[in-house]
């Protein structure tokens, strides 16, 4: 048995993980179940992450006010960055960047579309060199230059090139990535079961994401921001860029003489990366991307991390956190993308605003009380006022929610699949971070069965 994956040679790691395309699907998948309880739909949450988006954006997207000294760089169709990357269209935006489809003029001679068409991410000028820098460039380089023999390497969205670009609003760090089709935020809408991704595909995605996090953690990186928007579906047919996207998608009309830059709408590649008729194939692959707010295991960017509703218990109570916090975050996301059900929201009436106390009540309701040793590590200005001696929230009303084994949380599943899935979730989402599993523990679990 392998107790410490960090001590295992890379060749051994590869031999222990079943080849993803050859994974056997051994469990039942409930298809077209009639009369089941309608699941609670996951509402689209606001995304402030600098990543490729999944739907046509509002007219102003990031807004004109973002184009100021220290802010965004005004990009025009036809601009050439770093003497080689020609801008073709805008494909996304976020709080810290805009993202553009570009053509690599140096690679165009080869004719391979996967090398010719790439994604350019242009960061705001104040992201680096102003005393509050992220670790994004350094982390991306570390992940790119790490062990290519590690089984998780292919499932990280890797940096291809990086450079600086001088503009009217300052110096901007720019990243070049492989193009991705869309994110898991929208991927489920290709399938008829209320936007739920079929088991065969989610099984494959889960293995790939476990491997991606294993790779990151082995290289001293904690993602800290795992959500559907940051999980990217890879291209399956590059020919659709030229035969479809570049022919059918309108290019924005821009005036280079304008006194104030006008943001243009994003035109994502969602419809142009695979054959729609083959959508039921299990051969899709994903990568874990957007490492913009990631931390080193030895140095944290910030102590308040993760999307609020996906936040780990130790983060909520102000206790120390480490790489294991990614596993909790991943578990909450997995239920959301697999079953379109959100585990927690922390909302309170009448307006549904978020309160940590409510979030903690929801966690305890599903997963049990907080251990004393964890509470002792939390913020002592907060913990004693919230928790009783049994690790529960003082004066909390009983929620009377059904458990994870119920149709409400795991709708449409056969009994054996539900048992495996819930067991897997309980392994991922231990309240005590010290009890959370290793990557190999997860890969061995019957829900995945990915290790021989």
Binding residues for ATP, as ranges, are 121
Nearest-angstrom CA–CA distance, 340 and 189: 11
| Residue 340: Cβ within 10 Å count | 18
Please say whether the beta carbons of 322 and 239 come within 8 A: no
Torsion of CA 188, 193, 198, 199, to 10 degrees: 130
Please say whether the beta carbons of 325 and 305 come within 8 A: yes
What three-state secondary structure class fits 332?
Answer: helix
Nearest-angstrom CA–CA distance, 332 and 428: 9
- The label of the residue with tokens 């059904």 reads 402
Q: For 121, how many CA atoms within 13 A lie in the half-sphere containing its CB?
A: 31
Nearest-angstrom CA–CA distance, 185 and 404: 22
What three-state secondary structure class fits 78?
Answer: coil
SS3 content of the chain, % helix, strand, coil (to 5): 30, 15, 55
Q: Which two tokens stand for residue 306?
A: 């993760």
Nearest-angstrom CA–CA distance, 248 and 106: 25
DSSP 287-330: EE---TT-EESSS-S-SS-S-GGG--HHHHTT----TTHHHHHH
Residue 45 pairs in a beta bridge with none
């Amino acid at each position: 048995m392998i107790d410490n994956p960090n001590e295992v040679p890379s060749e051994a790691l590869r031999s222990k993980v079943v080849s993803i395309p050859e994974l056997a699907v051994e469990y039942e998948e409930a298809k077209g179940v009639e009369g089941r309880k309608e699941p609670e739909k996951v509402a689209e949450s606001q995304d402030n992450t600098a990543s490729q988006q999944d739907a046509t954006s509002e007219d102003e997207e990031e807004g004109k006010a973002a184009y100021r000294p220290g802010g965004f760089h005004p990009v025009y169709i036809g601009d050439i960055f770093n003497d080689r990357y020609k801008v073709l269209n805008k494909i996304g935006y976020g709080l810290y960047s805009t993202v553009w489809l570009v053509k690599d003029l140096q690679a165009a001679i080869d004719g391979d579309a996967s090398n010719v068409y790439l994604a350019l991410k242009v960061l705001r000028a104040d992201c680096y060199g102003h005393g509050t820098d992220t670790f994004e460039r350094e982390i991306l380089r570390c992940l790119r230059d790490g062990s290519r023999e590690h089984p998780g390497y292919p499932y990280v969205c890797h940096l291809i090139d990086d450079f600086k670009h001088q503009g009217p609003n300052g110096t901007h760090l720019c990243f070049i990535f492989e193009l991705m089709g869309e994110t898991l935020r929208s991927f489920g809408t290709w399938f008829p079961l209320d936007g739920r991704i079929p088991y065969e595909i989610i099984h494959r995605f889960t293995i790939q994401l476990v491997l991606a996090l294993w790779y990151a953690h082995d290289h001293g990186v904690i993602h800290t921001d795992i959500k559907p928007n940051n999980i990217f579906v890879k291209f399956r047919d590059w020919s659709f860029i030229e035969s479809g996207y570049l022919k059918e998608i309108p290019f924005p009309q821009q005036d280079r003489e304008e006194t104030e830059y006008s943001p243009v709408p994003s035109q994502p590649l969602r419809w142009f990366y695979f054959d729609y008729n083959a959508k039921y194939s299990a051969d899709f692959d994903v990568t874990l991307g957007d490492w913009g707010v990631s931390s080193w295991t030895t140095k944290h960017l910030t102590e308040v991390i993760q999307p609020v509703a996906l936040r780990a218990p130790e983060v909520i109570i102000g206790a120390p956190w480490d790489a294991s916090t990614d596993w909790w975050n991943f578990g909450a996301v997995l239920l959301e993308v697999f079953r379109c059900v959100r585990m927690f929201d922390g909302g309170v009436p009448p307006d549904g605003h978020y309160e940590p106390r409510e979030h903690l009540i929801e966690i305890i309701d599903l997963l049990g009380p907080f251990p004393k040793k964890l509470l002792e590590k939390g913020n002592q200005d907060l913990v004693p006022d919230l928790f009783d001696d049994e690790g529960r929230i003082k004066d909390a009303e009983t929620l009377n929610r059904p458990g994870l084994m119920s149709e409400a949380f795991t709708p449409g599943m056969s009994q054996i699949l539900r048992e495996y899935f819930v067991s897997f979730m309980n392994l991922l989402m231990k309240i005590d971070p010290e009890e959370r599993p290793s990557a190999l523990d997860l890969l061995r679990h019957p829900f995945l069965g990915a290790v021989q």
